[in-house]
Amino acid sequence: MNNGIFETDRHGWAELLPPRQATAPLRGEHRADWAVVGAGVTGLAAARRLAESRPDQEIALLDAREVGQGASGRNSGYAVAVSHFGGGFSRKDIDEYRRVNRINQAGLTLLRERVEADNLACQWREQGFYHAAADSRAQAECRYFCEYLSALDIAHTPLSSNELAARLGTNTYQSGVHVDQGALVQPAALVRGLADTLPANARLHENSPVTRLDHGTPLRLVTPEGTLLADNVLLATNFEAPKLGFLARRLSASTLTGSFTRVLSQEERTSLGSLSDWGVLSLHSGGATVRLTVDGRISLRNTAEYNGGQLLSDAQLKQRQETHRESFERRFPHLAHVPFEFAWSGVEGISRNGTNFFSKAAKNVFIAGGYNGSGVSRGTAFGHALADYARGADSDLVRDCLACAPASWIPPRPLVNIGAYFTVKKRFIGVGLDR
Ligand SMILES: Cc1cc2nc3c(=O)[nH]c(=O)nc-3n(C[C@H](O)[C@H](O)[C@H](O)COP(=O)(O)OP(=O)(O)OC[C@H]3O[C@@H](n4cnc5c(N)ncnc54)[C@H](O)[C@@H]3O)c2cc1C
């Protein structure tokens, strides 16, 4: 993971959008009050918060890639308000459940406010999601999940197999629950929109990998074509923080893949039940995430693996697409004739014990990230809170973020690879028909 290479490809949700001109890379010598590294949801929220709370200061936001090509533009598009904690409902953990959900909800609110204020064209649909179970393990999770939702007084509707079939057009699921809170979004359109509407004192430089961070006053960030001196640095670099010397033994990476069908015909869409669009999260941690998007495609993600923090090659994607295909045809046999248009992969930061990262990492350096596959709303909240924390402002949200459990230690190579391999593999135990 420390190779200093920031690979990208043209297989993301960004490819479904019109072409966009990237902002200019950092060239020459620059000075800013704040540097934010990483323009995913975390960095975008941090840069905005800093720019708005310090209107007289300059914020430079640097990203190694183009906006939309990190995990924030490659995810499945669920902005979660209510987390599912697998493995059984535990009354003694209620405070922790509430803490995490407060963070999720803060992020969801921040995103909604931005989408509405700037009228972002990102297919934002805030009507909750389905959590569904096909096989026995997931059905047990469904019972635990309903218990948890009731105990926390979270609005939800348990659904039978027939009710799910009528809404989603598949007989796969034996039980499920609709949770009212949560939004679905076109993730690349969302981050592009957030980037293109930043306040004027936040300057974005894409294709500007920070290859070195020299500590001192000011801090010095080096990119291939430029140098930036900054008083404070916020790292929103997801799983790539170790490339700059942070969290090497705490943060690992998981590479996930999914596929999209072509746009379905009206007749095909009608065969999918009563709703115009929906999203299903599996109640098994290794189960498929399936969406009918607003523009009429089915997207399905069902693989995760350790690949050294890299995207998958075209050949690997082709192989994973067979798993997507199998899962798609099992759910929608009447749509077996519908081809996939393409497959994509994305890399997410994970910790061994499922915690997230939010801290001061060094003098005037702050870091947030590692959301274990659930970072759209949480990352937004973390970014916003990190900006507040770094400028010395206190809030309930900052305190909730600071209360993340410490991350478990990850052993050095080659054990790290084996450990990460098993951490990711473990999530598929007993996945059965939920895949
Ligand atoms: C396939 C997939 C599906 C997912 N589905 C969901 C979902 O449905 N819902 C959900 O909540 N979460 C989901 N996630 C997780 C979610 O996408 C992430 O948790 C979230 O986007 C992380 O945001 P971030 O801003 O921290 O990181 P990123 O979006 O990865 O942004 C980090 C940015 O930092 C840049 N960077 C890194 N190092 C440097 C450097 N040295 N110099 C300059 N720039 C640098 C990168 O280029 C990148 O753009 C999914 C993830 C994947 C991969």
Residues of the chain with CATH 3.30.9.10: 80-186+253-351
Q: How many residues are present in the chain?
A: 435
Distance 232 CA to ligand 1 centre (A): 22
Tell me what pLDDT residue 2 has: 53
State the pLDDT confidence band at 434, using cuts at 50, 70 and 90.
Answer: confident
Cβ neighbours around 125 below 10 Å, total:
19
Containing 247, the helix (H) or strand (E) segment is none
Terminal Cα distance for the chain, rounded: 28
> SS3 for 63?
coil
State the pLDDT confidence band at 415, using cuts at 50, 70 and 90.
Answer: low
The minimum-distance atom of ligand 1 relative to the CA of 378 is 11
State the pLDDT confidence band at 359, using cuts at 50, 70 and 90.
Answer: very high
Rounded to the nearest 5°, which phi and psi values hold at 36?
-115, 125
The minimum-distance atom of ligand 1 relative to the CA of 72 is 21
Q: What is the mean pLDDT of the chain?
A: 95
The minimum-distance atom of ligand 1 relative to the CA of 6 is 47
Distance 172 CA to ligand 1 centre (A): 30
Taking 90 as the threshold, does the pLDDT of residue 38 lie above it? Answer: yes
Taking 70 as the threshold, does the pLDDT of residue 22 lie above it? Answer: yes
Peptide bond into 406 cis (omega under 30): no
State the pLDDT confidence band at 340, using cuts at 50, 70 and 90.
Answer: very high
Closest Cα partner for 58 from 236, 219, 203? 203
Q: Is 254 a pocket residue for ligand 1 (Cβ < 6 Å)?
A: no
The model's pTM: 0.96
Tell me what pLDDT residue 422 has: 72
Tell me whether residue 329 is exposed, middle or buried, using C-beta atoms within 10 angstroms of its C-beta: 0 to 12, 13 to 18, 19 or more.
Answer: middle
> SS3 for 235?
strand
CATH number 1.10.238.10 given to 13-73+188-251+354-425:
no
For 362-386, write each residue's pLDDT tens digit.
999 999 999 999 999 999 999 999 9
Tell me what pLDDT residue 260 has: 95
Closest Cα partner for 261 from 303, 288, 291? 291
For 295-316, write each residue's pLDDT tens digit.
999 999 999 999 999 999 999 9
What fold does the segment set 80-186+253-351 form as a domain? Answer: D-Amino Acid Oxidase; Chain A, domain 2 (3.30.9)
- Closest CA to ligand 1's atom 41: 210
For 49-96, write each residue's pLDDT tens digit.
999 999 999 999 999 999 999 999 999 999 999 999 988 899 999 999
For 115-174, write each residue's pLDDT tens digit.
999 999 999 999 999 999 999 999 999 999 999 999 999 999 999 999 999 999 999 999
Closest Cα partner for 51 from 32, 23, 74? 32
Distance 164 CA to ligand 1 centre (A): 31
State the pLDDT confidence band at 416, using cuts at 50, 70 and 90.
Answer: low
Residues 338 and 45: their CA atoms lie apart, in Å, by 38
Residues of the chain with CATH 3.50.50.60: 13-73+188-251+354-425
* Bridge partners, 160 (sequence order): 175
For the chain, give the percent of residues with pLDDT over 90. Answer: 89
Residues 127 and 133: their CA atoms lie apart, in Å, by 20
Give Cβ neighbours of residue 258 (< 8 Å, ≥ 6 apart): 76, 289, 299, 300, 301, 302, 324, 343, 344
State the pLDDT confidence band at 39, using cuts at 50, 70 and 90.
Answer: very high
Distance 140 CA to ligand 1 centre (A): 31
> SS3 for 189?
helix
> SS3 for 164?
helix
